[in-house]
Structure 1
Amino acid sequence: MEKSAETNTASTAVVVGSSSPCAACKILRRRCRENCELGPYFPSMEPLKFTIAHRVFGASNIIKLLQDLPESQRGDAVNSMVYEASARIRDPIYGCAGSIFHLQRQINDLQGELAKAQAEVLRMHCQQANLMTLIWKELGQVPQPPMHDHQSLNDPYNIASPQSYHSYSYLFEECNVLEPMWT
């Protein structure tokens, strides 16, 4: 009777103490220890994460790298390894460098588009200033000095007036746009 009680407690201890092995130990087909160095970073429900990193770096290199780092940096290092490994699998020649190059090219293209859009806005401001100057000259009115901040409260929608367009008069000289607006 005592022997069966000991067996029950021993089997209970094994069941209570054991949890599912981490993805690394599962894939490597080894017994997952309680203090497995890969367990916290490769949980059993994410086997693809370890498979990708293992294919490129190898298990021993992953373990060595993690042992050389402080615990606070290990999670980021694993994420970085998985990202680098997946990039290397997608693009065996350039890996992450190819992704970085592609993103830098996108940034340069977008900066060029932004510069073009800013130039277009400036051109439109110049046309607006030219048009308003011509309209006020045609009407025989002279634009008044620019509004002060307290005057803008009276005109919350900034409705076209000589005061609101006088601030663009410096653009008239810089732009010297003589083409019609409809081009």
Structure 2
Amino acid sequence: MSDADAGAAAVQDVEAEKKPELSQLEHEGDVAADYLEGLLDIADMDGDIDLDVENDRAVVSVVGDDLGSLAGPDGEVLDALQDLTRLAVLRETGERSRLMLDIGGFRAQRKSELVELAKRAVETVRASGEPESLGAMTPFERKVIHDAVADAGLRSESEGAEPRRYVVVLPA
């Protein structure tokens, strides 16, 4: 085995170690669901909790009527609840979680809007051959844009500092 092959194998081994197992992700989802059910009870709100695993992360969705206040303006409350839910999972499991929380379909709707924004930016960059800067975005929003741009065959980079970090779509 060449040094390059050995190095590539070592990188794959490290990446495999970092990749959470399905049972661990399901456990994270269960812990998150218990925590969120408690919050819903305290807030005297009704909602069903759906659990899934996507892209090596637990996805927890709270669905129901009148959940807009739990998402808040521009998803600010949702982001805070996601952070609190991740802390609850950390407390229970001792492991940092990358779980994604959605409430009332807010993130799903926002993701759809961002994919359309990325498509328009890709078209502009292809037509002009010049980089296109987008507005400030949350980490979730930037990730959606980066994925959509990569799927279209172009590249993108994040620039700036939080909370004004933004994405630049670059020509191929």
Report the TM-score, using the length of structure 2 for normalisation.
0.27
Report the TM-score, using the length of structure 1 for normalisation.
0.25
Greater relative contact order (Cα < 8 A, sep 6+): 2
Decide which structure has greater strand share.
Answer: 2
Decide which structure has greater helix share.
Answer: 1
